[in-house]
Amino acid sequence: MSPAAPVFGHTTVLLAQAVEALVQQPEGIYVDGTFGRGGHARAILAQLSPRGRLVAFDKDPDAIAEAQALAVADPRLAICHASFADMAAELAALGIRQVDGVLLDLGVSSPQIDNPVRGFSFRFDAPLDMRMDTTRGETAADFLAHAAERQIAEVIRDYGEERFAFPIAKALVARREGGAPVRTTGELATLVAGAVKSREPGQDPATRTFQALRIHVNAELEALEQGLAAALALLAPGGRLVVIAFHSLEDRIVKTFIARHGKEAYDRRAPFAPAQPLKLQALARIKPDVGEVRANPRSRSAVLRVAERTAVPLAEGVQETAR
């Protein structure tokens, strides 16, 4: 008999606050853009009536397997093995043209971090993978094996906000040219520790580099921008956009997107034309309370933002009955 697969725990961050902000119509259609281990999805389903629907997305095959098991037990749930960036096409294939709410819980999940074979953490020595979808794309090790020194440095600087990005990139390329490219998380963590001259108290020198490579390998910021645009196009008037971000790069994109669509737009080429009405109204910015941070330290950097789709006319050819 083969050994049972390891079980990795996950505590859903800002669970009650996110679901309360999202579900305004129990009979509505909702999107969970990142199923993870189903914490938000189960809580959303608990708030829906028998006529409500939830469509859950995830790129991680392990998450999809768990989601499919839940969908067997609850026919209100549909599963898409895809990025939330592709939600418009995936929902259209299900015959859905409008939704009443979209939830995006960004970043990497605890089971992904805690599973050594996934290569997300410097706490374990394992193959340097970092892909959320292990069925496609190049690994972090593959990227480091061919990328130019400047490209590596820019990824680490821009996505990790690492001030020692160029010394780290130089060390990585020197090791590669010496015939021993970095292939494991332990090798990368050791190399970074030698290249970083100082670090904030309590933070491992490799933290920012690991974050940067993960974001790059999974194209997380590009997917976020695409997902936000898709969500805005899909939301019915009064529908809610709820996003939980865990670092400043993500939260900045979300904050800017809501602010940009929360203003009346004027066409400079037609100064006397009426302004295009705002599309989103910011409703809330929520941080975990002291109790949640104490119980789950990984929640300490989380920021939940809530915005509501304003009551603007539907695009030509789109009818609410198409839902």
Instruction: Quote the pTM value.
Output: 0.87
Dihedral sign computed on CA atoms, order 261, 233, 285, 252: negative
Alpha helices per DSSP H over 149-219: 149-160, 165-177, 185-195, 207-217
- Structure confidence at residue 220 (pLDDT): 97
Note the pLDDT of residue 264: 63
- Which residues of the chain have a pLDDT value below 50? 1-9, 313-323
Q: Which phi and psi angles does 105 have, rounded to 5°?
A: -110, 100
CATH of 15-110+220-311, one of 3.40.50.300, 3.40.640.10, 3.40.50.150, 3.40.50.720: 3.40.50.150
Amino acid 267: pLDDT: 52
Q: Please, are residues 87 and 234 in contact by the beta-carbon 8 Å criterion?
A: yes
Amino acid 316: pLDDT = 39
Residue ranges per domain, the chain? 15-110+220-311, 134-217
pLDDT of residue 144: 98
Q: Give the CATH superfamily of 134-217.
A: Putative methyltransferase TM0872, insert domain (1.10.150.170)
* Structure tokens, 8: 């990795």
